[in-house]
Amino acid sequence: MRALGFVAGSIAALALASPGAKASPVMHASTEAFVSIAYAPGSNSTLGQVAAERRVIGNMFDGSNATLLSLGLGGSISFLIAPTENTIIGSTVFELTNLGSGHKERARLFLGNDLGDWVEIGTLLNQEFGSQVINLNPLVASLEVVAFGPATGFGLTVLEGSFNSLRLVDASPTTGRNLDGFDIATLSITSLSRPVAIPEPAAALLLSVGLLGLAMGARARARA
C-alpha cells in the first residue's frame, strides 16, 4: 500500500507541476493590487507642471473615464503586480482626449520584471493620431485598439515570455497644442500564477521511481 501511495503521490505531483495546470486570472485594478506604482510626472507645456488634480494615481482605478492621470510631457509610470510571482497575460488602457482638441498624445509601452529588464512592445496613439497602435515586438505581445470615443481603449495580449511589470512612457509631441501628454482614464492588468514545471528528465525519473516502488511492493507481497 505504501508503494501504491507513493506512485499516486508521484502522479499527483506531476499533475500539479504540469505547465498546463489551470489557474484563475487575477485582475489588477486598484492601488492595492500592486507592490509598487512608480510615477514620474513630466511637464505641462504652459503651466510648467501637470495640474495637481491630474496627478492623482487613484484616478486610474475609480471606474470613471471622466477622471484621469496625466503622464505629463516626457513622464512615465511603472507597475509591479502583486503577487510578483504572477505573470502578466494582458492589459487594457483607456486614454482620454476629446475629439477635435488637437492634443496628439502617445505613449510607449514596455514589459519587464521587477521594474527592470524592460522590453519595448509598441506605441499607443490617441484618436488625434487616428486611434492606432504600433506593434514593435509582435512575437512577444500584440497591441490593438479595443474601443473608440472620448476615451480610446487599447488592449495588450502577451504571447511569449514571463513578466510581472508594465511601464508607460509619454512620447507625445512637445509642440503644437499638446499640454501634458498621455492621459490615462482607466487601467487594468490581468495576470496568472506562474506554473511550477518539473523538467522532463526529472519528471520521467520521478514516475519511474514510483513504478519501481509499486513493482517491489507487489513482489514482496507475493513472497509473503
Q: In this predicted model, what pLDDT tens digit does every residue of 38-57 receive, in sequence order?
A: 999 999 888 888 999 999 99
- pLDDT of res. 205: 45
Among 91, 120, 126, smallest CA distance to 106 is for 126
With beta carbons less than 8 A apart as the criterion, state whether 159 and 150 touch: no
% pLDDT > 90, the chain: 61
Residue 27: strand pairing partners: 190
Q: Which residue has the higher pLDDT, 217 or 124?
A: 124
- Write down the mean pLDDT value for the chain: 82
Question: Is residue 166 over pLDDT 60?
Answer: yes
pTM: 0.78
- pLDDT of res. 112: 98
Helix (H) or strand (E) holding 155: strand 151-158
**How far apart (Å, rounded) are the C-alpha atoms in residues 17 and 123?**
36
**How far apart (Å, rounded) are the C-alpha atoms in residues 92 and 102?**
24
Fold that domain 24-193 belongs to in CATH: Jelly Rolls (2.60.120)
Q: Name the grid cell of 59.
A: 484616478
Q: Which residue's C-alpha cell is 513622464?
A: 75
pLDDT confidence bin for 105, thresholds 50/70/90:
very high
For residue 85, the Cα-to-chain-centroid distance in whole angstroms is 12
**How far apart (Å, rounded) are the C-alpha atoms in residues 26 and 110?**
20
